[in-house]
Structure 1
C-alpha cells in the first residue's frame, strides 16, 4: 500500500494548500450512498407498520426533506472549517464534554455498519453461491476496510461509481415493479391513517439526521471559498433523491400482494430482477451501494473514536497508521455484531432508527443553532484541541441542553419496549424528533447567547 495513496489527515484541520474538488462531488457521494438495500428496507418499514404505498412515500418524502435540510446544513460547515464534524462539536460541548455524544455516535455507526453487513453478506453469498453466512459478512468487512483505510479521495471515487451502478440497477428494479407487479395499481386507492403516516415521516427524517454527525467529514476538503449554498444543495438533493428512490422501491415491494420481501430482502430483489445473470448484476449493485455507505460508517466511526480519545490527551494530529488501526477495530466489531444479529431484523431495525432519532436531534439543534446563530460561523479552531482554551473541558450549556432535549422526547416515544403517555394519547403517533429539535433549540440558544465567547473572526491553526 503506497503511503502517497493513503490519506494523511484525520482529525486535524485541512490547510488551504490541500483543499480541492467541487460541490458536485457531494451530490454523487450522497446519491450513491443512498441507493442501497438498507434504505429499501427503511421504506418498506413504513408499509409493514401500517401505511399504504402512496401515503408511505409521501410521508417518507416529507421526512427526508426535513431531515435532509438539517443534515445539509451540517455539510455546509465543512469547507468553512476544514474539520471533521465531531471535532467542531467541541465548540458546543467542550473538548472533553463532546465525548458524551461521541460514544453514542460510535454505537450508531456500529449499528448501521452491522445491519448493512448482514444484507451485503447475503448478496455476496449469492454471488459466490455459498451457504455459510459468515463468508459474505467477512468478505464485505474486508472490502470496506480496503476502501476506508485509503480515505477521503477513494471514498469519493467509490461514490461516483455507486451513483452510476446504483442508478442503472435501481432503474431496472423500478421498471420490473411497474411492468411485472402493476406498480400503478399498488399506488391506487390510497387510505390515509395518521399514525403510520407520522411513522413514515419519522423514518425518513431519522434516516437523514443520522448522517449529520459525519456529513462534514466529506466536505471539509473543499476550498474554503466554496459556496455554502452550493454545498448545501448538492448534499441535500444527492441524499434525498437517492434515499427516496430506494425507499419508494421498498414501499412498493412491501405492498406487492403475497410479497416475500419481508422474509428474504436480498433474494427477493434478485428474483424480481429476473434471476440468473440479472440477479447476479443486482447483487453486485447491492454490494456496491452498501460498500459506499459502509465505508462512510467505518471512516466516520474511526474518526469519532479518535476524536474521543484525543479529547483527553489534547492531540491535534494522528498518524495514518493509527487511523487505519481504528478503522480495523471498528470493522471487526461490526462484523462480530453482524454474525450475531437477531433474526427479528425488521422490528429491531425500526426501533434502532427511531432511537437514533431521539439521540441525534438534540445534537443537531445545538450544533446548528450555535454555528449559524450564536457564533455566526466564527470558530477558534486551535481551541478545539485545548482543554484550557476558549471552549474548555466541558460546556455546561451544550451538555445540559442536550440531556434536557433527550428527556423532553421521552413522553413522545413510540418504541416496542416503551410508549410515552403523550404518544398513547395521540394513538401511537411518534413526533418525538420534532419535540427534540424545538425544545433543545429553545433551551440552548438563550443560554449560549448569554455565556459563550465566540471569536471576532475564525481563528485558523496557522494563526494560533
Structure 2
C-alpha cells in the first residue's frame, strides 16, 4: 500500500489517542520532527539544565564539552525511539506492552506519569515567572495558572497543533537566543569565562549525566510525535531529523546556560534567585526584556504541551490495560489533560522556592527508572523482534504478549537495582560514587547491564511475529498471514 503524504489529511482536532493510526490518516515529513524537537529544546529549562553543570562545580568550558557528549549519546537513544513511530503508528508506551506484557507495562507507565508531572511542574514554575514579568501581577502563581490554561488548549487540540507550536518555537527560539548570545558576547568577556578554572573529572561526568538524562527522558513519548508519518518513511530519516533537532536545540540552550551561570557566579546568587529575571536583565531590559519573556513562554508552552499530551496518553494506556478499550472520546482527553495540568500547576506553586535543587535531583533520579525501560524497549524492538510487532495483540490480554512478561519485569528491576551503588543523590550516595570522586555514572551502568541481561532472556522467551501484523480494518499488507496473528502462549 502506497503511503500518503497529504499534510492536510485528517480532522483539525485530533481524534486518535492510543489506537493505531491507519495509512489514510498519515501525513507530514521527517523535517517536522526536526522543528518539533529543536523548538522543544530552545527553552529556559534547558538553559537551567546547562547552568546546573556550572553551579554544581564544573568549569564553563568543560561543562559545555560534557553537555555536548551527553547530548550526543542521549540523543541517539532518543532518536532510536522516534524512528519506531512511523512503522508502528502507535504512541510510544503502548509498544511497551510487547516487552512487558499488557498489564506488566503499567509498572513503568506509572513512573512515566510521575516524570511528566515533574517536568510539567518545573516548566510551569519558569513560565509562570515569565508571565508574571510581563503582566506585573506580583504573584507568580497567577502566571502559572494562565500558562496551565494555554497548555490545556494546545494539548487538547492534539498532534497537528503541537507540531505547529514546534515550528513557532523554533523560529522564536532562534531569534531570541541568538539575540541573548550576541548580548553576552558584546557585554562580557566570554574568553575569560571559558578560560577560568580547571578540569575536574567528577563534575565533568555530572555535566554528561545532566544532558544525557535530559535526552533520555524524552524516550517514553518521542514516538508519539512521529506516529502520523507515512509508514514507508525511512527510519534513517526520522532518526536523523529527531537526532539533529534535539541535539542542536538542547546544546545551544545548555551552552548559554553554562555561560550565564559562569557569569553569575562571581556576582552572587543572581541566577539562582531568578532565572527568568536574569535573562530579562541580560537582554537589556525594557521592551526587549518583554520580548524575551514571550520567547520563554512560547518555548515552555511547546514542551509542556508535550508533557501534557504524553501524560494523558500514558495514563490512558495504563487504564485501558484493564478496560481493554483502544480509544476514547475527545471530551475524555480534555478531562485527562485538565486533571494532569491542574496537578502540575499545584506542584509548581508548592515546589518553586527550591526549584534549582529539586530540578537537579529530579533529572538525575529519572535516569534510574527510565534507563532500564529504554534499554529493554530498544533491544527488543531492534535486536529481538527486529522491528516486527503484532499490533492487535497489544490490546488483547489473551494475545501473544500476554498479561505479564516476567523476563522483562525482572530485568527492569535488575536494571534499577544495579544503579544504586553508582547514584549521587541528595538523599543517598552510593559506595562506587564515592570511589569515583562523586561522579554519577548510574545511567551508563543501567543502560549496559540491562541490555546484557535482557538480550539472552528475551531470545529464549520471545513471542515476536515473523512480520508486522496490522489491524485488519486498516487494509495494511502485513495482515495477510493469519497464522502469525493467532495468539501464542502469554509471556511469563
TM superposition score normalised by structure 2: 0.93
Does residue 101 in structure 1 map to residue 101 in structure 2? Answer: no
Equivalent residue number for residue 339 of structure 2: 329
**Cα shift readout 1:212-264 (whole Å, capped 9, x = no counterpart):** 00000000000000010010010011001111111001100010131511111
Distance 2:438 2:349 in 1: 33
8 Å contact kept, 2:125–2:352: no
Distance 1:283 1:31 in 2: 19
Equivalent residue number for residue 372 of structure 1: 382
Equivalent residue number for residue 405 of structure 1: 415
Equivalent residue number for residue 264 of structure 1: 274
Please state whether the residue corresponding to 1:5 is helix, strand or coil. Answer: coil
Does residue 55 in structure 1 map to residue 65 in structure 2? Answer: no
8 Å contact kept, 1:40–1:250: yes
**Cα shift readout 1:284-324 (whole Å, capped 9, x = no counterpart):** 00000000000000000000000000011111122222112
Distance 2:229 2:191 in 1: 42
Equivalent residue number for residue 320 of structure 2: 310
Bigger mean CA deviation after superposition, 322-331 or 50-59? 322-331
- Structure 2, gaps ≥5 residues long: 1-9, 473-478, 480-484, 486-492
Q: How does 1:187-202 map to 2 (within 5 A)?
A: 187-202=194-209
Alignment RMSD, CA only? 1.0
Q: CA shift at 1:5, angstroms?
A: 2.5
Equivalent residue number for residue 234 of structure 2: 227
Aligned length: 462
Does residue 114 in structure 1 map to residue 121 in structure 2? Answer: yes
Equivalent residue number for residue 362 of structure 2: 352
Runs of 4+ in structure 1 off by over 2 angstroms are none
Distance 1:380 1:25 in 2: 28
Please state whether the residue corresponding to 1:89 is helix, strand or coil. Answer: helix
Taking a change above 3 Å as real, the CA distance of residues 337 and 189 of structure 1, as seen in their structure-2 partners, is closer
8 Å contact kept, 1:7–1:152: yes
Of residues 11, 20, 24 in structure 2, which corresponds to 1:17? 24
8 Å contact kept, 1:91–1:391: yes
Does residue 455 in structure 1 map to residue 462 in structure 2? Answer: no
8 Å contact kept, 1:178–1:184: no
Distance 1:13 1:81 in 2: 8
- Structure 1, gaps ≥5 residues long: none
Please state whether the residue corresponding to 1:97 is helix, strand or coil. Answer: coil
Equivalent residue number for residue 390 of structure 1: 400
TM superposition score normalised by structure 1: 0.98
Q: CA shift at 1:189, angstroms?
A: 4.0
Q: How does 1:132-151 map to 2 (within 5 A)?
A: 132-151=139-158
Q: CA shift at 1:336, angstroms?
A: 0.8
Please state whether the residue corresponding to 1:414 is helix, strand or coil. Answer: coil
Distance 1:452 1:238 in 2: 34
Please state whether the residue corresponding to 1:125 is helix, strand or coil. Answer: helix
